[in-house]
Amino acid sequence: METHPESTHARVRRWASTKDAAAHIDRHPEVLRRWHRERTEHQWLPMPRRVGKNLLWDLDELDAAIDGQVDQQGIR
């Protein structure tokens, strides 16, 4: 009988441009840019990764942050 070590599947990160990430959360790209610029007011927002001049957002982290804000504010 062959045994396999426990699988260590790494999470596949879903990266998106600011435009695509904003569409994913149903917001205008400028809203996401403003939230990023105003970090002190939006500390819950995950940090994007900068690639050249572009920001790339992890969609799973963004979803979790938005869900956390909804849960914190009691919005359903």
Instruction: List pLDDT tens digits, range 4-34.
Output: 555 566 778 899 999 999 999 999 999 999 9
Which pTM does this prediction carry? 0.76
CA distance 4 to 64: 32
21, with CB counted inside 10 A (0-12, 13-18, 19+), is buried
Are the C-beta atoms of 35 and 42 separated by less than 8 Å? yes
Q: What whole-number percentage of the chain has pLDDT above 70?
A: 84
In the chain, what are the domain boundaries? 15-73
| CA-CA-CA-CA torsion sign (24, 10, 43, 19) | negative
